[in-house]
């Protein structure tokens, strides 16, 4: 008797916990697009169907356990088949499944809609950051985690958006259809923002498509969803959705910045300027693997501090940063960073942490290499 009660209470408290936490925002977000809301309602429909089936099935089960226990004097019957009952419990689930499949198919077709988009964004996954390129707009940038290391290591209190903050969010317009082209430079990543209901693998050498039409301005956060190595947990996605006109002026601003930066290529940079800029770039891009103090993590990530081979061969250093090293996690940064950033970070690496080569790499030199 007590046992059975415990069983029933156990099951009941599950359902109670389930519904109360669902109400408290621990559920899938309904999101801010048509598709995300459809997926949400699909999810809830199936969830409640499962709950109802569960109550009926477990109800019969617990009733039997309670009613037919031997301590209550139950004598066992001897039946072991009943064709009509079996037909019913095969056919009914089949019908329920058809009922689930119909709306699911409709939603899926809407997700695969390939109609013309207003904006194309190329999303490239890299260990362990995202690179965004607004196709045809001459705007592209890399977006990496901006949560400071000290918060991760517990030396500082964790901020509100711990692990979900980036240096440069992807900015998208509201009310326009944005098409994503996803690919990767190294391993498979998966770009995911729950509020947009977009999750798509980015696969090296191949291109995947997805799209979104955001309905409300705001900041939407997500993460890489496919295990991609050491810092899989540390490559968040942040999307900032702006009203159409705000977006247009943002894009124009970025385009102007890109042009300004391009013109900076021609002038002579001082060592201090390059070191300052290089430290920023290094912190945002290189420090996750090669460590903030350049000590690396052997054998995968070689140390840069005191790396004689690198310090003695300036050309090799430039080549590695520009073109990466095939068969290792070292990516090619030629198209992810601009010549100023490339020159600065190489100069920084050759002169920081006791590396006293005294070498200065000018943006114009990198530019020449890129254009050759």
Partner 1 sequence: MNPVQRTVFRTVLALMGMFAFAFALVPLYDAFCQVTGINGKVGDQPRSIANEEVDTSRYVTVQFITRSGKGMPWQLEVEHRQMRVHPGQPTEVNFAFSNNSGKALTGRAVPSVSPSQASLHLRKVQCFCFEEQHLEAGERLEAPLVFQLTRDLPPDINTVTLVYTLYPVTDSQSQLQAQTSPVRGGGV
Partner 2 sequence: MWEVIKSVLAAFFGVQKERQRQHDFQHGKPGAFIAVGIVMAAVLVMLVAAVAIMAAR
Partner 3 sequence: MASNLPPKPTLEHSTTTSGGLAHEHHERPRGMLRWLLTTNHKEIGTLYLIFSLTMFFIGGIFALVVRAELFQPGLQLVQPEFFNQMTTMHGLIMVFGAVMPAFVGLANWMVPLQVGAPDMALPRLNNFSFWLLPVAFTLLLSTLLMPGGGPNFGWTFYAPLSTTYAPPSTTFFILSLHMAGISSILGAINIIATILNLRAPGMRLMDMPLFVWTWLITAFLLIAVMPILAGVITMMLMDINFGTSFFNAAGGGDPVLFQHLFWFFGHPEVYIMILPAFGIVSAIIPTFARKPLFGYASMVYATASIAILSFLVWAHHMFVVGLPLVAELFFMFTTMLIAVPTGVKVFNWIATLFQGSITFETAMLFALAFVVLFSIGGFSGLMLAIAPADFQYHDTYFVVAHFHYVLVPGAIFAIMAGVYYWLPKWTGHYPDERLGRWHFWMSVIGVNLTFFPMHFSGLAGMPRRIPDYALQFADFNMVSSVGALMFGVSQLLFVWGVIKCVRGGEKAPAKAWEGAEDLEWSVPSPAPLHTFDTPPDFKPVTH
Interface positions with partner 1 (CB under 8 A): 113-117, 120, 122, 124, 135-136, 179, 181, 183, 185-186, 204-209, 315, 319, 322-328, 330-332, 334-335, 369-372
Shortest distance in whole angstroms from residue 277 CB to partner 1? 23
Asked if 230 interacts with partner 3 (CB under 8 A), we say: yes
Residues touching partner 2: how many (CB under 8 A)? 7
β-bridge mates for residue 221, sequence order: 238
Nearby residues of 364 by Cβ (< 8 Å), 6 or more positions away: 265, 266, 268, 339
Choice between 61 and 271, CB closer to partner 3: 61
Interface with partner 3 includes 8 (CB under 8 A)?
Answer: no
277's CB contacts (< 8 A; 6+ apart) are 340, 341, 344, 348
Nearer to partner 2, 76 or 84 (CB): 84
Q: Is residue 16 close enough to count as binding partner 3 by CB under 8 A? A: no
| Paired strand residues for 192 | 199, 223
Rounded Cα distance, 149 and 43, in Å = 37
Residue 202: CB minimum distance to partner 2, A: 24
Residues 128-167 that bind partner 2 (CB under 8 A): none
The residue (of 95 and 260) whose beta carbon lies closer to partner 3 is 95
Residue 317 CB, nearest distance to partner 1 (Å)? 14
**Candidates 78-86, 135-143, 243-251, 357-365 — which segment interacts with partner 3 by CB under 8 A?**
78-86
Q: Which of residues 147-206 bind partner 3 (CB under 8 A)?
A: 151-154, 158, 160-164, 182, 186-188, 190, 192, 194, 197-201, 203-206
Stretch that binds partner 2, among 84-92, 123-131, 196-204, 321-329 (CB under 8 A): 84-92
Of 94-123, which residues contact partner 2 (CB under 8 A)?
A: 105, 109
Q: Does 272 bind partner 2 (CB under 8 A)?
A: no
Task: Give least dist CB 206 to partner 1, A.
Answer: 5
Query: In residues, how long is the chain?
Result: 372
Q: Which residue has the tokens 């942040």?
A: 238
Alpha-carbon span 308 to 306, nearest angstrom: 6
Give yes or no for residue 326 binding partner 3 (CB under 8 A): yes
Task: Let me know: does 144 contact 284? Beta carbons within 8 Å.
Answer: yes
Closer residue to partner 2 (CB): 98 or 260? 98
Q: Tell me how far, at minimum, the Cβ of 208 lies from partner 3, in Å.
A: 4
Nearer to partner 1, 273 or 319 (CB): 319
Euclidean distance between CA atoms 296 and 293, whole angstroms: 8
- Which residue reads 């520009």 in tokens? 322
83 touches partner 2 (CB under 8 A): yes
d(CA 341, CA 351): 15
Binding string to partner 2 for residues 163 to 202, with x set by CB under 8 A, is what?
Answer: ----------------------------------------
Select the span of 79-87, 239-247, 251-259, 318-326 touching partner 2 (CB under 8 A).
79-87
Cβ closest to partner 1, residue 163 vs residue 370: 370
Task: Give the DSSP per-residue string, 287-341.
Answer: HHHH-TTS--BTTTB---TT-HHHHH-HHHHHHHHHH--TTSS----TTTS-HHH
Give the 3-state DSSP-derived string for 131-188, with helices as H, strands as E and coil as C: EEEECCCCEEEEECECCCHHHHCCCCCCCCCCCCCECCCEEEECCCCEEEEEEECCCC
Pairwise CA distance, residues 298 & 181, whole Å: 34
* C-beta neighbour count of 142 within 10 angstroms: 20
Please, what is the Cα angle at 244 between 243 and 246, to 5 degrees?
65
Q: Where along the sequence are the contacts to partner 2 (CB under 8 A)?
A: 81, 83, 86-87, 90, 105, 109
């Amino acid at each position: 008797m007590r046992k059975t009660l415990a069983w029933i209470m156990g099951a009941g408290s599950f359902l109670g916990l389930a519904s109360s936490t669902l109400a408290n925002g621990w559920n899938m977000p309904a999101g801010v697009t048509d598709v995300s809301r459809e997926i949400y309602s699909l999810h809830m429909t199936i969830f409640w169907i499962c709950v109802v089936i569960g109550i009926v099935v477990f109800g019969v089960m617990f009733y039997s356990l309670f009613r037919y226990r031997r301590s209550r004097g139950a004598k066992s019957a001897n039946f072991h088949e009943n064709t009509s009952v079996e037909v019913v419990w095969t056919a009914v689930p089949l019908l329920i499944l058809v009922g689930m499949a119909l709306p699911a198919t409709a939603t899926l077709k809407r997700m695969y809609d390939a109609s013309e988009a207003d904006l194309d964004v190329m999303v490239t996954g890299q260990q362990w950051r995202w690179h965004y390129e607004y196709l045809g707009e001459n705007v592209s940038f890399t977006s990496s985690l901006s949560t400071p290391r000290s918060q991760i290591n517990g030396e500082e209190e964790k901020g509100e958006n711990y692990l979900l903050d980036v240096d440069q969010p992807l900015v998208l317009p509201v009310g326009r259809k944005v098409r994503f082209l996803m690919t990767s430079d190294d391993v498979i990543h998966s770009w995911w923002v729950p509020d947009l209901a977009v999750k798509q693998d980015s696969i090296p050498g191949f291109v995947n498509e997805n799209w979104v039409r955001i309905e409300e301005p705001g900041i939407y956060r997500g993460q890489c969803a496919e295990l991609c190595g050491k810092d899989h947990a540390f490559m968040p996605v942040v999307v900032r959705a702006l009203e159409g006109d705000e977006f247009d002026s943002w894009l124009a601003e970025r385009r102007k910045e890109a042009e300004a930066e391009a013109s900076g290529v021609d002038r002579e940079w001082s060592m201090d300027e390059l070191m300052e800029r290089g430290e920023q770039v290094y912190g945002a891009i290189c420090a996750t693997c090669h460590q903030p103090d350049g000590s690396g993590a052997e054998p995968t990530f070689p140390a840069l501090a005191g790396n004689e081979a690198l310090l003695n061969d300036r050309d090799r250093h430039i080549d590695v940063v520009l073109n990466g090293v095939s068969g290792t996690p070292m990516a090619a940064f030629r198209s992810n960073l601009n010549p100023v950033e490339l020159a600065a970070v190489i100069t920084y690496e050759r002169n920081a942490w006791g590396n006293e080569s005294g070498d200065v790499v000018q943006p114009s030199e990198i530019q020449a290499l890129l254009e050759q």
